[in-house]
């Protein structure tokens, strides 16, 4: 397996607004919960189109994670405090969502482009 796609450690303390993932290649990814929830890949949030669009979380959407569960050796399931938990985030997809300084320079952080599925 490509080291950049091997999840070594996930840090998301209660009350946090970001989740940090330590990857096998030493990279530490930073994931604001607004981005993770807005880019939820589940069919309920995205439908069945070929792209994933950012869906801005509404006021009643919970942005605190209740739990994070591994899905095999390739993904994480994120379960939010409001009960939403059908999105499976592949490690490749999570790397694409990274908002650290290296992956997402400050002048591009406000952009919410469509992303390819898969």
Q: What is the pLDDT of residues 3-41, one digit of tens each?
A: 888 999 999 999 999 999 999 999 999 999 999 999 999
pLDDT at 49: 81
Report residue 118's pLDDT band, with 50, 70 and 90 as the boundaries.
low
Looking only at the bridges linking them, the beta strands covering 18-23 and 28-32 are: antiparallel
Read off the pTM.
Answer: 0.92
Instruction: Give the chain's domains with CATH numbers.
Output: 3-110 (3.30.2020.30)
Q: What is the pLDDT of residues 78-116, one digit of tens each?
A: 999 999 999 999 999 999 999 999 998 889 989 999 998
Nearest to 23 by CA among 2, 7, 39: 7
Residues comprising the chain, all counted: 118
């Amino acid at each position: 397996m490509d080291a950049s796609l091997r999840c070594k450690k996930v840090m998301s303390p209660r009350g946090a607004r970001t989740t940090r993932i330590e990857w096998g290649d030493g990279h530490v990814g930073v994931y604001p919960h607004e981005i993770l929830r807005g880019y939820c890949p589940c069919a309920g949030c995205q439908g069945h189109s070929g792209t994933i669009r950012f869906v801005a979380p509404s006021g009643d959407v919970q942005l605190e994670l209740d739990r994070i569960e591994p899905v095999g050796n390739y993904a994480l399931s994120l379960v939010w405090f409001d009960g939403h938990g059908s999105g499976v985030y592949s490690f490749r997809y999570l790397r694409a969502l990274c908002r650290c300084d290296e992956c997402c320079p400050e002048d591009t952080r406000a952009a919410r482009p469509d992303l390819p599925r898969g």
